[in-house]
Amino acid sequence: MEKPKFFETEKSFIWTATVLLLFLFIRLFFEYLSYREFTSKPFYFTHANILNAYEKTKNGKQYTVLKLRSDEGFTFYTTSHTKEDLAHKRVRLQIFPNKGISFKDYLGMFYVKSRIKNAEDLPSTFKDELLEKVALQHEDPSLQSFYNAIFFATPVDKALREKITLLGASHLVALSGFHLGILWGLIYGLLLILYKPVQQKFFPYRHALFDVGLIVIIVLAVYLWFVDFPPSLVRSYAMVLAGWIMLLLGIELLSFTFLTTILLTLVVMFPSLLVSLSFWLSIAGVFYIFLLLQYSKEYNKWVISLLFIPFGIAILMLPVVHYIFGVTSSYQLLSPLLSLLFIPFYPLIMFVHLINFGAVLDVSLLWLFSLPSESTDNILPLWLMLLYISLSIGAIWKKKLFYAVIGVSSGYGVYIFI
């Protein structure tokens, strides 16, 4: 028996999308008014927490680049020439906005000149204790950065980020739906083992998907708050939540109308996602997963999970990724294999960190990170990117266009790697 669709008719979807777009334009109008007010004044005083601080040198002069989040909710960059270590500080500062800050920058992150008035240590939190606990299990700073990134969404140091990019593994380090999916499966599976005997004995009439799923949804929500709402993880959580509800209602889950509705709902709620690169990359990844699943329904589920999805996504995302990031290395061909290995690696490495044996795979990881040393630069032209996106959207309805998309992405892969 076929499941009911997310929207009964095409007309109902169009009306829903239209209403959501109208709400989005209204939100953007009010955001623009706030932007005009923000850039019209010569200066502001504000308090902000320093999220990241790193040294840079220009024309022989050294200075510190700071990433901050203000009490008003702005995330911005500024520079400081002070010799004081400002990492993990709370500062009171005077900022000097100007017309050079575009509306797009205002929605996302922008650079603004500032003058720091005073700085104080942030009080230690439970998250700080966990970060330190993880870091103490590794001698190499790059591994400290790596593990704290995949557990708590902290920034990865620049040298390691470049190595990870050359390995085609950036999606494994930046928290996304991939990590949330693993966490869902892990937590749900463990709780279900405990729940089943109790359910069968005391309340066999209860639905495990509702009871256990609700607990997992709450745990994942707390985790999302704990890691400070990374955009790609916000998208993932919204899809997990909506997907869980749809499963309970018995509605078709894997549909492009579902993806579009989630996308529009999220940008209405959080307009800053419109300019978030990680958000759009995660949306693209889910889009191509849906596209692959749509045209591979007749195949075995294990074949789809272990072959079509990891290798298909790696191929189909090549033009998208190389329109934004030109760095190309033959080691990026390892990306599908690394994605598969990451599935057991992620819960395993969580467990060994809990028992203070986090360094068990340090030698192997350092060897892996040391592999890539050379790269070339290949940026896909805008017109080709637009053509590829058009073909991809058309492939929703035409199987021949789906094969064309595979052909174009595979041909592009041969071109940049061979």
Q: Tell me the pLDDT tens digit for each residue of 250-272.
A: 877 778 998 999 999 999 998 99
111 falls within a domain = yes
My answer on whether 201 and 57 are in the same domain is no
User: What percent of the chain stands above pLDDT 90?
Assistant: 48
Radius of gyration of the chain (CA): 23
Mean pLDDT of 93-110: 90
The answer on 347 and 269 residing in a single domain is yes
Q: Check whether residue 118 and residue 182 sit in a common domain.
A: no
SS3 call for 55: strand
Do 185 and 328 lie in one domain? The reply is: yes
Is residue 325 assigned to a domain?
yes
Highest mean pLDDT out of 195-204, 213-222, 226-235, 246-255:
213-222
Question: CA separation (Å) from 100 to 31, 70, 111, 113, 301?
Answer: 17, 20, 9, 11, 52
Per-residue pLDDT for 2 more than 70? Answer: no
Per-residue confidence (pLDDT) for residue 177, from 0 to 100: 84
Check pLDDT > 80 for residue 176. Answer: yes
Task: Say whether 117 sits in a helix, a strand or coil.
Answer: strand
Least confident of 194-203, 211-220, 407-416: 194-203
Whether residue 35 contacts residue 74, with contact meaning beta carbons closer than 8 Å, is answered with no
Contact present, 147 and 370 (Cβ < 8 Å): no
Mean pLDDT of 192-212: 88
Residue 75 lies in a domain: yes
Residue 414 is encoded by which pair of tokens? 């041969």
Q: How does residue 128 score in pLDDT terms, banded at 50, 70 and 90? A: confident
Distance between CA atoms of residues 78 and 112, nearest Å: 5
Copy the structure tokens of residue 195.
Answer: 């729940």
| pLDDT average, residue stretch 185-200 | 91
- Phi, psi for 252 (deg, rounded to 5): -55, 130
169/112 same-domain check: no
Instruction: Phi first, then psi: give them for residue 7, nearest 5 degrees.
Output: -120, 135
Say whether both 115 and 245 belong to one domain.
Answer: no
Alpha-carbon distance of 111 to 67, in angstroms, equals 9
Q: State the pLDDT at residue 1.
A: 53
Inform me whether the pLDDT recorded for 82 exceeds 80. no
- Note whether 45 and 99 are same-domain residues: yes
Q: What is the pLDDT of residue 372?
A: 80
Q: How confident is the model at residue 81 (pLDDT cuts 50, 70, 90)?
A: confident
Residues 340 and 397 in one domain: yes
Q: Is position 394 within any domain?
A: yes
Domain stop point among 72, 89, 123: 123
Most confident of 21-35, 64-78, 157-171: 21-35
Least confident of 84-93, 202-211, 354-363: 84-93
pLDDT, mean over the chain: 89
pLDDT per residue over 47-61, tens digit each?
A: 998 888 888 877 777
Structural domains in the chain (count): 2
Cα 309 vs. chain centroid, distance in angstroms? Answer: 18
Task: Report the pLDDT value the prediction gives residue 36, as an integer from 0 to 100.
Answer: 92
100 and 179 inside one domain: no
| pLDDT greater than 80 at residue 144 | yes
| pTM as predicted | 0.88
The size of the chain, in residues, is 418
103: CATH: 2.40.50.590
Q: Is 76 within the bounds of a domain?
A: yes
DSSP H helices, 93-203, are 103-107, 126-135, 141-152, 158-166, 170-173, 177-202
Among 328-337, 343-352, 392-401, the range scoring the smallest mean pLDDT is 328-337
**Closest Cα partner for 329 from 164, 150, 172?**
164
Which residue type, as a one-letter code, is found at position 173?
V
Q: Above 80 in pLDDT, residue 305?
A: no
Q: With left for phi above 0 and alpha for psi between -120 and 50, is residue 356 left, alpha or beta?
A: left
State the virtual CA torsion across 89, 58, 170, 275 in degrees, nearest 10: 80
Of 95, 123, 151, the last residue of a domain is: 123
d(CA 400, CA 403): 5
Asked whether residue 113 falls in the same domain as residue 195, the answer is no
- Segment 393-415, tens digit of pLDDT: 999 999 999 999 999 999 999 99
Question: Is 84 in the same domain as 187?
Answer: no
State whether 243 and 298 are in the same domain.
yes
Buried b (16+ CB within 10 A) or exposed e, 284-313: bbbbbbbbbeeebeeeeeeebeeebbbbbb
In a domain, 393, yes or no: yes
- Alpha helices, H only, 5-93: 10-40
| Cα four-point dihedral sign 120, 123, 128, 133 | positive
Checking if the pLDDT of 222 tops 80, the result is yes
Asked if residue 364 has pLDDT above 80, the reply is: yes
Boundaries of domain holding 45: 41-123
Of the residues 72, 102, 123, the one at which a domain ends: 123
- Please report whether residue 332 resides in a domain: yes
- Average pLDDT score over residue span 335-348: 93
Reduce the DSSP state of residue 61 to 3 states and report it: strand
- Is residue 169 one of the residues assigned to a domain? yes
Instruction: Decide: 80 and 66 in contact? Cβ < 8 Å.
Output: yes
Instruction: Return the residue matching tokens 């990881």.
Output: 365
